[in-house]
Amino acid sequence: MVGVMTVPEGIRMAEDKGLDLIEIAPTAQPPTCKIMDYGKYKYEEKKKAAASRKNQVIVTIKEIQMRPRTDQHDFETKMKHARRFILDGDKVKINLRFMGREMAHQEAGVAVIRKAIDYVKDIALVEAPPKTEGKNLFTLIAPDPAKVKEYMKLHPSKKEEVLEPMKDNEPDEE
């Protein structure tokens, strides 16, 4: 650390050493500068930016579309995909579209959405509760990192068999 000096003095010192005078904090009083190689400085800044981008997690929203009268097998297939998306770290938007007279019976749609939430509640949380927007009813489900980690610990090789936890929730038929 050299101390407080005028700009021409700083430039002269930098030139004597064969380096550049770089302003680090222009808003500080007095402005902070360093004597260093500008090319090396830019390279290090670029590396820091790349490292921060690399560590950034990009969460995508996958959408699953259904109808209030979606068949049970189709529903299970869609929920299997939803579980896979959640285990991959993506958010899932479940969109239920009403057509014609189905709008008069929105409680059936709410029941389907609640059933969908129950299918994934062991690995996810509801980020946005069921909400009606025009002819659509939707909810947003996000992975719960703690629950996903616990699930993967208990089922390390069963990522493909994502419907297994729901088998326990089905009522016994006698």
Q: Is the peptide bond before 156 cis (omega within 30 degrees of 0)?
A: no
What pLDDT tens digit does each residue of the chain (174 aa) get? Answer: 788 888 899 999 999 999 999 888 889 888 899 999 999 989 999 999 998 888 877 789 999 999 999 999 999 999 999 999 999 889 999 999 999 888 888 899 999 999 999 999 999 999 999 999 999 999 999 999 999 888 888 887 655 554 455 555 555 444
Both 93 and 74 in one domain: the answer is: yes
Beta bridge pairs of residue 91: 61
Within-domain flag for 173:
no
Instruction: Record the tokens describing residue 150, joined without a space.
Output: 């616990």
Both 37 and 93 in one domain: the answer is: no
Both 158 and 83 in one domain: the answer is: yes
Q: 86 CB contacts (<8 Å, ≥6 apart)?
A: 92, 120, 123, 124, 141, 142, 143, 148
- Count the neighbouring beta carbons within 10 Å of the beta carbon of residue 16: 9
Both 67 and 40 in one domain: the answer is: no
pTM listed for this prediction: 0.61
Full domain range(s) for residue 40: 7-54
Both 83 and 163 in one domain: the answer is: yes
Torsion angle defined by CA atoms of residues 100, 101, 105 and 108, in that order, rounded to the nearest 10 degrees: -60
Both 72 and 13 in one domain: the answer is: no
Both 26 and 105 in one domain: the answer is: no
Query: What pLDDT shows up at residue 163?
Result: 46
Query: What pLDDT shows up at residue 154?
Result: 86
Instruction: Record the tokens describing residue 108, joined without a space.
Output: 């059936």
Assign 24 to helix, strand or coil.
strand
Both 84 and 135 in one domain: the answer is: yes
Query: What pLDDT shows up at residue 157?
Result: 66
- DSSP H helical segments within 106-162, as ranges? 106-120, 145-154
d(CA 24, CA 11): 14
Say which CATH number the domain at 110 has: 3.30.110.10
Both 103 and 86 in one domain: the answer is: yes
Q: How many domains does the chain have?
A: 2
Say which CATH number the domain at 38 has: 3.10.20.80
Both 90 and 154 in one domain: the answer is: yes
Within-domain flag for 174:
no
Within-domain flag for 36:
yes
Which of 38, 54, 70 corresponds to the end of one domain? 54
Both 77 and 111 in one domain: the answer is: yes
d(CA 44, CA 142): 36
CA 83 to chain centre: 15
